[in-house]
Amino acid sequence: MHEIVRYDPGLKEQIARLQRHLWSDDVRLNRAYFEWKYEENPFIKVPLLHLALSAGRVIGMRGMFGSCWEVGSSPRRVLVPCADDFVVEAEHRNHGIGGAIMRAAVEDTALSDYEYAFSLSAGPVTLAASLVAGWRAVGSMRPARRTSAQALFLNRVAARLRTAPALWRYANPLVRAHYRGVGRPFGALDHRARRTSGLSSSAVRVEASPRVDAMADVVAELGHDGRLRHARDEAYLVWRYRDPLHEYRFLVQGADRLRGYLVLQAHRTEPERGIRIVDWEATTLEIRMDLLRAALEWGRFPELIVWTATLPSETDGPLAALGFVPTSSGSQLRGVATTMIRPAGRAPAGADAILEGQRLLDLASWDMRMIYSMAG
Amino acid sequence: MGIHAERMALRDELRRLILEFAPEREAALADDTPLITSGIMESITLLNVALWVETKVGSEVEITSFDLAAEWDSVSDILTFIERHQAPPSA
């Protein structure tokens, strides 16, 4: 038997243990991540989580963290709860618990203050479970990956091992051991950036801390075309880059006043997840590509991933030329990051879900960066 | 193989796949047992069934383009979905 309950602070420790499935193996790190994401969130102050309990033990979870979006030609700010962290312990799956948590999460009266809930980077499992709970898919964020020759070779070896009867269990440990042996994810980037006095031929610098005021200025200077995007002001950026589960590097061009920036992210304890470009803005295409080329040249990353769905189309060609390829053939069932929406606390969305004149089910209404999602 | 025998073979394969994730349901799993609305087939099982359906219809299945709970809520529903979407045999 199980019951679905709202979050209670007495369950925090159990959540940190449960989320070893998704966040990290380190319970202490998971606790810090929970506190940052749900307790220190600048938009929803009280953790909005639903938990499945069996004999008093937490066996499943769905969370909603707060986010703040800008939308419309005279931008209006809208607070939106974002669904995340869906997990049910293996031995309790297929007993209706996943569906019950999903329903409780979107039907909670605490959501009645909000128009919509978003889900920003659903993988295939969450995608399938969400569809059943009345979520509607906006579209894939179309991740693209650039893989080094060495990592491609390693992936091929691991793929072979996975199909070998006696050896399959060594495939994942092999990949993990390799990435951990390579050293810190940003080791090469930091080293080369220091050796060149932090300046590439295109005047790009690498910084370990975000210059949130200058980054917010770049966003403001670029203007807003009315599509849905997360508000990236100083207060948000300060909170966002304190994410304890990940570390970041900031490639910037410009002095006091930045002309562009590119943010890289790595998982603190699982480098095999790859490096991600989580935000990337510049006043010109040339600066945008200078930032990326500096990251590639200095970082020598085994894997670099970027969401391409709403990048300016002028970046498509240069990204392909630099070796970025889509991470899937396009099938929704093979690991794409899908953005989804659902009216908060009400019936599922019809085809006319509209916010400030923007059709939410149309990907063209969105201007997405990975940093908006907790994948970033 | 006749159409009926083909459906029976698919049915057995699908049952085996579902029961792999929910073995305790063997006795209760009839062709019309609700799978999604009852919670027997959740997230990972649902995903694996979707991948299996893709292999049977021979193309990608856009699971966001139809009502999963309505169209895949029983073994029988899923088999009907496959039959409806299978490419006709080439001449």
By mean pLDDT, which of A232-236, B28-32, B51-55, B87-91 is the weakest?
A: B87-91
Instruction: Tell me which H or E stretch contains A142.
Output: none
Q: Are residues A72 and A207 in the same domain?
A: no
By C-alpha distance, which of A58, A55, A127, A60 is closest to A94? A60
The pLDDT, as a whole number, for residue B23 is 86
What CATH code is carried by the domain that includes residue A307? Answer: 3.40.630.30
Q: Digits of tens for pLDDT over chain A (376 positions)?
A: 889 999 999 999 999 999 999 999 999 999 999 999 999 999 999 999 999 999 999 999 999 999 999 999 888 999 999 999 999 998 888 888 988 998 898 888 888 889 999 999 898 888 988 998 889 999 999 999 999 888 888 778 877 777 777 777 777 777 777 776 667 899 999 998 888 765 666 789 999 999 999 999 999 999 999 999 999 999 999 999 999 999 999 999 998 899 999 999 999 998 888 999 999 999 999 999 999 999 999 999 999 999 999 999 999 999 999 999 998 765 667 667 899 999 987 777 666 888 988 999 999 999 999 999 999 9
Q: Do A333 and B25 touch (CB under 8 A)?
A: no
- What is the rounded distance in angstroms from the CA atom of residue A82 to the CA atom of residue A63? 8
User: Chain A contact for B62, CB < 8 A?
Assistant: yes
**Between A and B, how many residue pairs show a Cβ–Cβ distance under 8 A?**
73
Q: Does A100 reach chain B within 8 Å, measured CB to CB?
A: yes
Same structural domain, A166 and A235: yes
Judge if A124 and A269 occupy the same domain: no
A45 and A150 in a common domain:
no
Residue of chain A nearest B41, judged by CA positions: A94
Residue that the structure tokens 């929970």 belong to:
A34
Contact at CB, B38 and A96, closer than 8 angstroms = yes
Summary mean pLDDT of chain B: 89
A128 and A154 inside one domain: no
**A98: which chain B residues are within 8 Å (Cβ-Cβ)?**
39, 42-43
Partners of B50 on chain A (C-beta within 8 Å) are 128, 333
Same domain, residue pair A88 and A202: no
Tell whether A158 and A137 lie within a shared domain.
Answer: no
Question: What H or E segment, with its residue span, contains residue B46?
Answer: helix B43-57
Residue A150 to residue A85: CA distance in whole angstroms: 32
Interface confidence (ipTM) of the complex? 0.81
Question: Taking Cα atoms as reference points, which of A80, A93, A156, A163 lies closest to residue A120?
Answer: A80
Domain that holds residue A297: 144-326
Contact B45 A331 (CB under 8 A): no
Instruction: Answer whether B44 touches A (CB < 8 Å).
Output: yes
Which residues of chain B does A94 touch, with a Cβ-Cβ cutoff of 8 Å? 21-22, 25, 39-42, 45
Put simply, whether A123 touches B (Cβ < 8 Å) is no
A186 with A253, same domain: the answer is yes
Q: Which residues of B touch A129 (CB under 8 A)?
A: 42-43, 46
CB A264, CB A299: distance < 8 Å: yes
Cα nearest neighbour of A328 on chain B: B60
Predicted confidence at residue A297, as pLDDT, reads: 92
Question: In this predicted structure, what is the pLDDT of residue A198?
Answer: 57
Q: Which residue of B has its CA nearest to A92?
A: B22
Residue A331 has a pLDDT of 64
Distance CA A208, CA B12 (A): 57
- As a whole number of angstroms, the distance between CA A272 and CA A158 comes to 13
| A332 falls within a domain | no
Whether residue A151 is found in the same domain as residue A187? yes
State residue A200's pLDDT score: 63
Contact between A53 and A338 (Cβ < 8 Å): no
Contacts of A329 in chain B (CB under 8 A): 60
pLDDT in tens, A315-370: 999 999 999 999 876 566 766 789 999 998 777 766 688 898 899 999 999 999 99
Where b means 16+ CB within 10 Å and e means fewer, A98-114 reads bbbbbbbbbbbeebeeb
A285 touches chain B (CB under 8 A): no
Top-confidence residue, A374 or B5: A374
Nearest to B44 among A93, A131, A330 (CB): A93
Best CA proximity match to A281, nearest among A272, A273, A292 = A292
Domain count, chain A: 2
pLDDT value at residue A340: 95
- Please report the pLDDT score of residue A167 as a whole number: 75
Q: Is position A170 within any domain?
A: yes
**Which residues, at least 6 apart from B85, have a Cβ–Cβ distance to it below 8 Å?**
B57, B59, B61
**Residue with more model confidence, A200 or B65:** B65
With vertex at residue A148, the alpha carbon angle to CA A145 and CA A151, rounded to the nearest 5 degrees, is: 95
Instruction: Give burial (CB, 10 Å; 0-12/13-18/19+) of B26.
Output: exposed
User: Taking CB atoms and an 8 Å cutoff, what residues of chain B touch A332?
Assistant: 60, 62-64
Question: In Å, how far is A127's CA from the nearest CA of chain B?
Answer: 8
Same structural domain for residues A58 and A96?
A: yes
B43:A98 CB<8 A: yes
Q: Name which of B25, B42, B61 to mutate to probe chain A: the one with the most chain A Cβ atoms within 10 A of its Cβ.
A: B42
Q: Which CATH class is domain B3-85?
A: mainly alpha
Residues 314-353 of A with CB under 8 A from B: 329-333, 338
A chain contacts of residue B47, beta-carbon cutoff 8 Å:
124-125, 128, 333
The model's confidence at residue B91, banded by pLDDT at 50, 70 and 90, is low
Q: Are residues A294 and A159 in the same domain?
A: yes
User: How many C-beta atoms surround the C-beta of residue A198 within 10 A?
Assistant: 15
* DSSP H helical ranges for chain A: 12-18, 27-34, 97-107, 124-132, 149-163, 171-182, 187-195, 212-222, 234-240, 285-299, 316-321
DSSP-derived secondary structure letter, A112: G
- For residue A138, the chain B residue with the least C-alpha distance is B64
- Measured in degrees and rounded to the nearest 5, phi and psi for residue A85 equal 60, 40
